Structure 1
Amino acid sequence: MKKFLAWFLSIVIVLLVFGGGCFALAKYNTNSLAHSYYQKLTGKPVRSSKKLEIAYKVPVTMQKDKAASKVDSALKTNNLVGSTAIIRKGQLTYLTATGRSHYPGGSKNTNTTKYQIGSAQDLITAASVMKLSQQKKLKLSDKLSKYYPKISGAKQITVKNLLNMTSGLSITATPPATDSFPTLLSWNERNVQNSGQTGSYDYQAVNYVLLAGIVQIASDQPYREFIQTQVIDKLDLKNTGFVLNSTKRDKLATSYEDSYSGGKVAVTGMAKVQSTKLGPYQMYMSTLDLATTYLYILSGKFIKSTNVEKLIGSSKPSFVGGVYSGKNYFTVHGQLGGYQDSVQIDAGKQNGVVLLTNYVPTGIKSTQTAPIIYNTVFK
């Protein structure tokens, strides 16, 4: 009996040691297959236990922006709510918040309020692709067939076409309501259509869904984990993450429909709205975190300055690398179920406006919000 107990205890100890080792491998070795399964089971990327040096902090001036009162007036005049950041000469000069994150009598928006950022995530995805290109893990000239050979016409479409929305790909079917990026990625691959108009601009979310998938393939790690380790952790962003479920969604400012009907009506079915662009359109941020991330990318610290120009530089108005670029400035604008992102930054990447909102009054387009403030401050 004693021999049996000793043998049994030895087996238990071995199993505990082995199990603990497997768990550590799954949790912390991000290059292991076990880690991929761990992430699927837990639904979240894992932060490394090793403390990382912060790669970039947006410079903050000690003096309030000289146009601060004009910004306040413009926000009030145009009934704009949300959180607004002013960047002047590469420094954060003003950060303000208006309106409420919950109506009618709920909490007010603040400088740390979190919003879903919608298509403002395009630049983050595009810069991630460029970073992998910089690391020789992919080429912008790579054919889509290298990653998704089953897609019609994939041999004529390049990664650069996807970045600039000139692939000719689109989806007309309604995607499933899911919080699983692998499920949605597979669905996009099966349902994507090719118009044969490769080279012609057409904004279609499927381009950046596929790019998120390419980031996964080239980096050998899930898209969310890549963004977590390469951007969120390195910038120590406190009010940034991925909206994976209703618990996460409840921590954001509630999004409201455009209405002057006597009260703001909350958008319903956000889980379904979000799932249509799951993956590259799933992040939430505060305005400061978004401004910090953009300046990190534009500063040449995330990717080389030459590659920033290669990604978004353009002498004529066009969509390139996740932004609408022109000779004098570039803009970002989009809407996602009542949330709106609006950014305008000058070509020199020194002056700009970043605005995130959970309610946009009727008559104000997503292409107008940041430009209204930008023109007030810099014209």
Structure 2
Amino acid sequence: MRQRIRHMALALSAAVVAGTGVLAPAQATASSTSASSTSASSTSASSTSRPDSVRQGLEALVRADGVPAALATVRDRDGRIRHYTAGAGDLATGAKVPVDGQVRIGSNTKTFTAVVVLQLVGEGKVDLDAKVDDYLPGLVRAEGVDGRTITVRQLLQHTSGLADYEGLLDEASLRDRYFEPRELLDLALGQKPAFAPGEKFGYSSTNYVLAGLIVQRVTGRPLAEEIDRRVIRRLGLRHTYFPAAGDRAIREPHPHGYRKDTPDGPLGDFTEMDPSAGWAAGQMISTGSDLNRFLSELLAGNLLPPAQLAQMRTTVPIGDTGAGAGLGILSRPLSCGGVYWGHGGDIPGYETRGGVTDDGRAVAVAVTTVPTDYGVTERLEGIVDTALCR
């Protein structure tokens, strides 16, 4: 949920540096790897293989940065899939991190929501350049805000100027609090807009609350059902789901998630929570393998018609980083040249980063807390760069 794109313009540049400077050069091993340890001293499946930079990066996050656990799934250039874990899946028991375990994926949910909207565009039921008011008449009205001036495209690309409701939430209260989407919208509409519609990029989860409401208005069905029918079941993502209202647990094997009430405070278990504050912007649960498959199938044209996929991949710049924001998807530069496509997400207890390249490489990395030091997130993105450039 808490993607913190307001910091990403700086972090993206730093992540490229981290991918080549902080971590050792990538080395491929001879066989699939599954490394697991409660002390971050994981081992390769091949004792004769050279040091694996992805594994080393995950271990460093646990050992040096105090992350409880880290896990990753990587698909190499040759199609080989590797799974990694480091740290403890449960700090109370010392249990191992489940390989390819489920995690809360936060703002990666936005890409799923954007796919559904763009499918509706392809079906002629939604127009990207139509106004929000055309689908949700009278709903977006506040000081300086008018749904008659904001387009659907601006919602998906974060160029609407709408204030972000996330900064108005008390994270500690999210464990048990249920939010209706309209409550989230009302929080945002109580704030002045950040800029005029279309003026520039400005990340706001409020955009995706409105996108989700448009899906429901146009289809007459709950957003969760549309994502399940149009994306999850279509691709056979067996470990991905949109939790139902009141569903506070994670269904399948998973590492526990943790958060701190204060930067210097102890880690508290935050695995179970009501994720409704994320909704269309951040409510979903998945695994690294499923995220890699979702993004790979998306870029391969197996979810959207060519015209809508091209629209999704048309970006606006995020500062001067070389990164760009498409419609529910971001492009980031790689230290080895080219870009990768993905999103990333934060929600109390979990942070995820990753993406795929046009030639089929893929990586999904997760840690079991949202770091209070954004430098840790930069190092996490450096691991993504390392995995994709090996």
What TM-score, normalized by structure 2, do the two folds share?
Answer: 0.70
Shift in Å, 1:367: 4.4
Structure 2: how far apart are the matches of 1:366 and 1:190?
A: 28
- Structure 2 residue 388 is matched with structure 1 residue 355: no
2:157 to 127, 151, 164: 164
Alignment correspondent of 1:257: 259
Quickly say closer, same or farther: Cα 1:218–1:89, change in 2 above 3 A.
farther
Please say if 1:340 is aligned against 2:351: yes
Looking at structure 1, the residues matched to 207 and 242 of structure 2 have their Cα atoms a distance apart, in angstroms, of 20
* 5+ residue gaps, structure 1: 1-61
Preserved CA contact (<8 Å) 1:144 1:154: yes
SS of the equivalent of 2:116 reads: helix
Q: Deviations over 1:10-32 (max 9, x none)?
A: xxxxxxxxxxxxxxxxxxxxxxx
Partner of 1:285: 286
Of all paired residues, the percent bearing the same amino acid is 21
1:318 pairs, out of 319, 324, 335, with 324
Could you tell which deviates more after superposition, 228-237 or 130-139? 228-237
1:69 is the counterpart of 2:52: yes
Mapped to 2, the partners of 1:68 and 1:313 lie a distance apart of: 38
8 Å contact from structure 2 (residues 312, 329) kept in 1: no
Q: Per-residue CA shift, 1:88-144, capped at 9, x if unaligned?
A: 338352122222332132432223411110011111111111111111111111101
Structure number, greater radius of gyration: 1
> CA 1:185–1:91 in structure 2 vs 1: closer, same or farther (change >3 Å)?
farther
Structure 2 counterpart SS, 1:241: coil
Does the 8 A contact of 1:335 with 1:366 survive in 2? no
Aligned partners of 1:139 and 1:257: how far apart in 2?
40
Is this contact kept in 2: 1:344–1:374, CA < 8 A?
A: no
- The within-5 A match list for 1:16-165 is 64=32, 69-79=52-62, 81-89=69-77, 91-150=79-138, 151-152=140-141, 153-165=146-158
Match of 1:366 in 2: 377
Verify the 8 A CA contact 2:73 2:100 in the aligned structure 1: no
User: 2:226 maps to what in 1?
Assistant: 226
Deviations 1:21-55 (A, max 9, x none): xxxxxxxxxxxxxxxxxxxxxxxxxxxxxxxxxxx
- The whole-number CA distance in structure 1 between the counterparts of 2:56 and 2:187 is 49
- Which one scores higher on RCO, CA 8 angstroms, separation ≥ 6? 2
How many residue pairs get aligned? The number is 314
C-alpha distance in 2 between matches for 1:63 and 1:124: 32
Q: Are 1:112 and 1:287, in contact at CA under 8 Å, matched by a contact in 2?
A: yes
- Kindly tell me: are residues 305 and 179 of structure 1, through their superposed partners in 2, closer, same or farther at Cα, counting changes over 3 Å? farther
User: Corresponding residue for 2:37?
Assistant: none
Instruction: Using the TM superposition, give the Cα deviation of residue 226 of structure 1 relative to its aligned residue in structure 2, in angstroms.
Output: 0.5
Q: Which whole-Å CA distance do the structure 2 matches of 1:146 and 1:257 have between them?
A: 41
CA RMSD, Structure 1 to Structure 2 (Å): 3.3
Q: Structure 1 residues 76, 156: CA separation in 2 closer, same or farther (over 3 Å shift)?
A: same
